[in-house]
Amino acid sequence: MSTTQSERLRELLEPLVTSQGLDLEEIAVDSVGRKRVLRVVVDSDTGADLDQIADVSRALSAKLDETDAMGEGEYTLEVGTPGAERLLTEHRHYVRAVDRLVKFQLAEGGELVARILKVDDEGLDLEVPGVKGRKATSRRVGFPEIDKARVQVEFNRKDSKNEKEEEA
């Protein structure tokens, strides 16, 4: 998708998404055979439920139908959320990922897997899990030190509230 088309679609659709209380995270147009698919990713600080996604999908569909932003020809509109292993690229993404385990690619090289404890304008306070029975350690990472960050899926994580109750 050309930058011009991407910018046009963002300008057209972002006010509608915002009016629904959501953030427009991503727009992508992909070709699937002879058809095109317009994928719109939305989110908010509290997440987006199915009703919100359905409402914004209807609003976007109506707006696209009344304009020629997608040009001639068929296309499919898909509206969804970022998913479990989302890439963190904006400050608000890091805020939304507080208490989540994240894999960082560091600008100096190397990787770090840590839990985000706190986010401010300069960077992150992290908890680096201990290995082989060692205690977790704290670490501060500034945004300029981060090359790439992606949320990790955790299947066996104990809820910290439940852990405290078990310890009592």
Model pLDDT for residues 1-53, shown as the tens digit of each residue:
455 777 889 999 999 999 999 999 999 888 878 888 999 999 988 888 899 99
SS (H, E, C) the chain: CCHHHHHHHHHHHHHHHHHCCCEEEEEEEEEECCEEEEEEEEECCCCCCHHHHHHHHHHHHHHHHCCCCCCCCCEEEEEECCCCCCECCCHHHHHHCCCCEEEEEECCCCEEEEEEEEECCCEEEEEECCCCCCCCEEEEEEHHHEEEEEECCCCCCCCHHHHHHHHC
Model pLDDT for residues 124-154, shown as the tens digit of each residue:
999 998 888 889 899 999 999 999 999 998 8
